[in-house]
Copies of this chain bind each other. A is one copy, B any other.
Amino acid sequence: MMKDAIILLSGGMDSGVLLAWARPRYERVHAISFDYGSKHAAKELAMAAALAREYDATFTKVGLPFMNELFSSSLLTSGEEIPDGPYREDSISSTVVPFRNGIMLSIAVGLAENLHVQEVLIASHSGDHPIYPDCRKEFTQAMSLAATLGTFARVSVEAPFAGFDKRAIARVGREAGLDFTMTWSCYKGLNLHCGTCATCIERKQALEHENGLDPTRYTA
């Protein structure tokens, strides 16, 4: 018998691919999205809701208003401007939201316990590691142990893409038939992807923009 899963679905490219990859592998899929006051929340959350519908997953949106009030990050509406240019330790560190994955995973584990679901999936991948500590494989494994020990259902946290870079994730998405225009990456949250912020640059590389394989419309 196939199991059920809860998926952390931001509406970005990585979690969109995770949903498309996971759908045939699980009986029921529950998507959980978080509104933590990021500048691109409206775009991302609309994509997440549409993706959940497309892949016949239940959709739960969790509001976390405290993040915008308490935490400092340029990713948040309360923070400074999003820097332009590729990911570098000094520029992108302003976009770190403290322990964001830890907080989102914990809430997803609580929902899993409540629904008697035993697996929580997150789209962490190897390309994230150097910058965000809570994207590393060792972190996800420690969270999984905490989840298993801290629940009656012995919930585990799985990161199926932990060994993949973003280009490999894009290939998985293509094989699964994912329409990438249903995913949102840009941190700025304007009408189109800006094409110049760090996450847009990564998206272009992963989707092989230079080879004409990227269906995304960019401003620049």
A126 within 8 Å of B (CB atoms): no
Interface check A70, CB cutoff 8 A: yes
A sample of 13 cross-chain residue pairs with beta-carbon separation below 8 angstroms, ordered by A number, consists of A60-B70, A62-B66, A63-B65, A64-B66, A98-B112, A99-B106, A99-B109, A102-B147, A133-B150, A134-B149, A139-B149, A142-B150, A146-B146
Partner among B72, B111, B133, B147 whose Cβ is within 8 Å of the Cβ of A151: B133
Main SS of chain A's interface residues? helix
Q: Does A80 have its Cβ within 8 Å of any Cβ on chain B? A: no
Which residues of chain A from 99 to 137 have a CB within 8 Å of any chain B CB?
99-103, 105-107, 109-114, 133-134, 136
State whether A110 touches B114 (Cβ < 8 A).
no
Are A99 and B147 in contact, with the CB atoms below 8 A? yes
Instruction: Assess the A71–B110 pair: CB atoms within 8 A.
Output: yes
Chain B: CB-nearest residue to A143: B146
B residues in contact with A151, CB < 8 Å: 98-99, 133-134
Beyond A133-B151, A142-B145, A150-B133, whether A110 also contacts B106 by CB under 8 A is: no
Identify the interface centre among A64, A100, A109, A146: most chain B CB within 10 Å of its CB: A146
